[in-house]
Each structure stands twice: as structure tokens, then as C-alpha cells.
Amino acid sequence: MRVGIGYDSHRLIEGRDLILGGVRIPSEKGLLGHSDADVLCHAITDAVIGAMGLGDIGRHFPDTDPQWKDASSIHLLKRIIDISRMNGYEVCWIDSSIIAEQPKLSPYIEDMKTALSESGIPSGVINIKVKTNEGMGFIGRGEGIAVYAVCLLKRIGQSI
């Protein structure tokens, strides 16, 4: 068994879609980033990469590489899930916390789990929590969104 932790944050700006966990969320602002800036996917991707001991998301998908411009983060996550399988691992649990003041995200959790499952992670092993920052810091001021994620990997075929 292996454990990895992931974190990501992005600035909120006008004129971009807000995409979290592969789901387009109605919002006046979206996240700024080289790809689609899906902080939930990025944190989960980083957690999986960390559990494998293969660096971080920037090593695999550098923001200086034009091929990742506006890329779907679900597809980036799928690439990492494929790498984990090639290395003999499968995801047996993901736990994540999205920290955002607005918009209200709890109505979209099941849709996010379904969209994330397109990466190859079964929706039944994904947990998503949503929190506010109680008005404190850049998140509390509505300037950005952050996500923490933990991934538990096991050897393919190993029972837990």
C-alpha cells in the first residue's frame, strides 16, 4: 500500500468556466490556469503521483508545454491512472476537500464523482467534501479555490 497527498489552488477570474472534478459549475468566475485549471483533478492527480513516488503534476504536465494548454484535467488524471496501472497499482481510496466560499458546491458532488470515474477511478472509492474558509484569506475573499486530496494505492489484485 502507498499513500500520497495532493494540493492545488488557482485564482478565480472573470471570463473563464469554473470546472471542478470535470463538471462545469455555473459561476460568474472560473479558475485561471494553463489547462482547464480544475483544482480538484489537479490535487487528486498530484496525490496519485505522490503515492507512486514519481514527483508532482508539474513534472508530468509542465505549464510551459503548449500541448497542455486548455487540456482537460480529467484526461491528465486518466494518463496518471494509466501510469499507476502500468506500475502495478490501482487506486483503492481518494479523499478530498474543496475549499471555496462561492458557489455552493455540494449539489455537484455526485456529478463530480461520476465525471472523475471517467479517469478510471471507480466513483465508489472517491470522497469529496466541500468547505468554506469562513471569510478568511484569499479563499475567504473569493479570490481563489484550493483543494487537498489523499490517495491510497494498492498493488493490483492485493486485498486491503
pLDDT digits 0-9 by tens, 52-98: 999 999 999 988 988 888 899 999 999 999 999 999 999 999 999 99
Of 10, 34, 29, 7, whose CA–CA distance to 18 is shortest? 29
pLDDT digits (tens, 9 = 90+) for 3-60: 999 999 999 999 999 999 999 999 999 999 999 999 999 999 999 999 999 999 999 9
CB 96 within 8 A of CB 42: no
Q: Is residue 160 part of a domain?
A: no
| Gap between the Cα atoms of 26 and 17, Å rounded | 8
Instruction: Print the domain residue range for 90.
Output: 2-155
Helices (H) and strands (E) in the chain, counts: 5, 7
Whole-structure pTM value: 0.96
Number of domain units in the chain: 1
CATH value at residue 35:
3.30.1330.50
